[in-house]
Structure 1
């Protein structure tokens, strides 16, 4: 004999029955809790007194009880309707029969239970859990296991759905992810086009002020070469992003880290160049219009532009970032050699334009004797940027002599 607990609802209240199963005969019946406790006490007395029960006091021989056949554990037919085994279960038949000896929940509560008249949250949760588990078990009993073909079709549909989602998300987010530098350069390039027109207008106004010499023309050249440099950086970034997308995973992982660091430095130095050109133009306007004769700011910010140009080239150079520190002859930067040459040529033009502007401005200072400061000393207090003396900056200084 085996005993198991069965919970059910009657009049919207939770009730409990004890299922008694004769495993040898395949029969079962149901007791209410008081009857189970009474029979349990009888079994305990018989066991402790080592007595043999007669037919009259046989614990499991009650004429009023109805024993039902136990439900089979497997369905008789494959793909049986949902809930078929549950509908045929002895517990359900026992509840629906009019001869049920299970005490109603209300009378059981009144006699032996101290529970409140309404279900508590815990009792309701347990009841829901029990009903759900029973339902799931019956579903599993009513259906055969999925075939291998069904599983393959199901997995293939899930894979297809995921791939479609990735394609849709990639097409909408690719540009936002892959082109931060390109987008960041669009604004400065457009502004430099406006500043180029402004520099041309200032050069036209300088015809009335011959003492300035070629300073307005050199300012115009500086702004134009700066615009070309920014456009070159944008073009190189587009080429690099295109090659990354077409590589299909053939790029080393370190490339992305190096490229990110380069992009950070590139945007930083381009921002500094943009600000210095703006201040230089604002300082040149009153000078060209004859409102002042002090051109020391032109020297100052032209010098800062030269230094930022050196740093901009250095941030993309082979010596600054390498994809593989273990290799020596085959090291390569984020940019190819041809791309690096384009960047260096555009940066050289800006460097030369700024150097020519410094020479003309210093010559004007000497002629007009604006300052008695010797040429070998600084015209303005030094900035922290002046303390940086990179090898690439020295390279530009040496090349200036050969370019001139």
Structure 2
């Protein structure tokens, strides 16, 4: 009987180990490897809790996951920066401004950096993002304007994008009342927030609002045309942001059903208009996957073509990127989103936009752990450096798009 118990114990331990273990790339720093393993293990634990909670009817899986993930960061040690963090209501959108204290009679206006958080359009980690936002505010000496946009799937596209767009316009229109210089407003975001920042920047250009000084995108999600880029193939196994999760995030954001997972996984949603268009070769530069061998599902194609060609949903497929402000794109080498960020940088450069790419040997989201990671700190400092770099007098970027 004892050998059977031992065997059962070994099997259980092995199952737990396999579920909570993730491989790490050889080129990653040792400290970052442990951060990756810890995050992955906690993420896997959250999935177990969410599935069990949904099974017994406690709440939806996504709400349980939100509560579990937020609880992980509830006791984050605060920084000791002498900054004010003030909450505002920008016509129904909650916004937090982190800045150095201002005297009531201060006449000098602050530069502003609008930051849009990541989280798959579905999650919001205020405590962990406040660390990054306040770090930028302290070291770049800017007012960081953090937008808490409405989350998917309860609020699908275009609600989050429009909330961010309207918030940026509100900031510009009421800048002086808020102590902000309307000619020194920049925008940025990471992951899903990078998608929103890129979309808002495009929409501002298209509507004639060309006041943004800079655009900073950290590991941005810029397209859902292909989930077979080389970075997906190489980095899917590391677990921090697997392909399936990214597809689910897109589906939640677009209020689409999970029945499309397989089609998107194998790129069966692409019409000839997409694969024969001018943008596709830019992506193909980073894809060895043989798209020509894929059998297209005509019913799925009709549903997805219009979505792919919406630049405020899928910035990669904007007809032109001319007229956008100077841009920095920060990329993690071991991130599935690496290659679409590189492709977007290629498009920006080809369209005459001043563009810089910063590549780091990290994983997706490492910039949120700048306290514990040298690479994460490097990414945060790259944002600070770009914000502190002098820029020419405000130009009408739209002129170059004509």
> Which TM-score bucket, shorter chain as reference?
under 0.3
TM-score by length of 1: 0.23
Question: RCO higher in 1 or 2 (8 Å CA, sep ≥ 6)?
Answer: 2
Q: Which has a greater percent of strand?
A: 2
TM-score by length of 2: 0.23
Q: Which has a greater percent of helix?
A: 1
